[in-house]
Amino acid sequence: MSSTARVYSRIVGVGSALPERLVTNAMLVAELGERGIETSDDWILARTGISQRYIASPEVTSSVLGARAARAALDYCGMAPDAIDLIIVATSTPDYVFPSTACLVQRDLGISGCPAFDVQAVCSGFVYALTVADALIANGSAKNALVIGAEVFSRILDWSDRGTCVLFGDGAGAVVLSASDRPGILASKLHADGRHEGLLRTAGNVSHGAIVGTPFLTMDGQAVFKLAVSMLDQVGRETVQAAGLTVADIDWLVPHQANIRILQATGRKLGVPAERVVVTVDQHANTSAASVPLALDTAVRDGRIREGHRVMLQGVGGGFTWGSVFVQF
């Protein structure tokens, strides 16, 4: 690569990590029933498309899952950890108030010196983090970046609220993003609108040793659905236009895995056939910032996404935040 050539960034490695404990709908229904909360496998499946989720044990944190996913992504492309010169972790469930989860992942990988920081955009976090990493590679600040989405949402759920507790799971996904003279990330667009902050939030914090507000996730599901579908359609079209392409050029759509109805509606609005929409919400539930890289890893490793394919990655979540990254593999 000459010093005057434009620098692109390409996804060269993918990886993921899930907790050991798999909880099927039937298992969850039984556990909730013991607490006097009525629901059913059919009710969950019909409304969400979720069949199961993974729940982390107490010692497994976002940094633990993030480091496992990072190692898998490094192994995928045969890269040593000390080749990494940037780590960005997207998470809404960090291990600590500080230091960042990214610094803990850096420690666990046995490397030091490179920048490491977290991005907090909830379920849009991974596309936000990927966009930041792409910009830092493009301006020469980094050559090989780990971009990770890692969450343990099970710890901020109100297990007496059947409208939210059945929706989420824990997990992590990661990519290795490397400088290249060939186009990889073609375009990205990010947005936020804080006027909608009350629709999906965990409105609590720690002050003077006590929890102020609520430590649990709350959501207006119907309002989130309507906004999510509209925003994902709009930002998807905006992103392909920025790349000089059209929605017909999307080979695969990898949206945030929130709810099967949102995935199906987004695909229809964008005109992407259902068989070209990657769906893993049935297996992982909603893992927030981890959902897009988890789904991407699944589709790359099973051979659906191959070299030459153009892939639209999309996130939408609390904030309200939303965004898309259009990627050439």
**268: exposed, middle or buried (C-beta count within 10 Å: 0-12, 13-18, 19+)?**
middle
Q: Is 126 left (phi over 0), alpha (psi -120 to 50) or beta?
A: alpha
**309: exposed, middle or buried (C-beta count within 10 Å: 0-12, 13-18, 19+)?**
middle
The Cα 246–Cα 156 span in angstroms is 39
In angstroms, what is the C-alpha Rg of the chain?
19
Active site residues: 123, 256, 286
Name residue 155's amino acid: R
Number of other CB atoms surrounding residue 83 within 10 Å: 14
153 and 287 Cβ atoms separated by less than 8 Å: yes
The Cα 47–Cα 182 span in angstroms is 42
- ∠ CA 212-213-214 to the nearest 5 degrees? 120
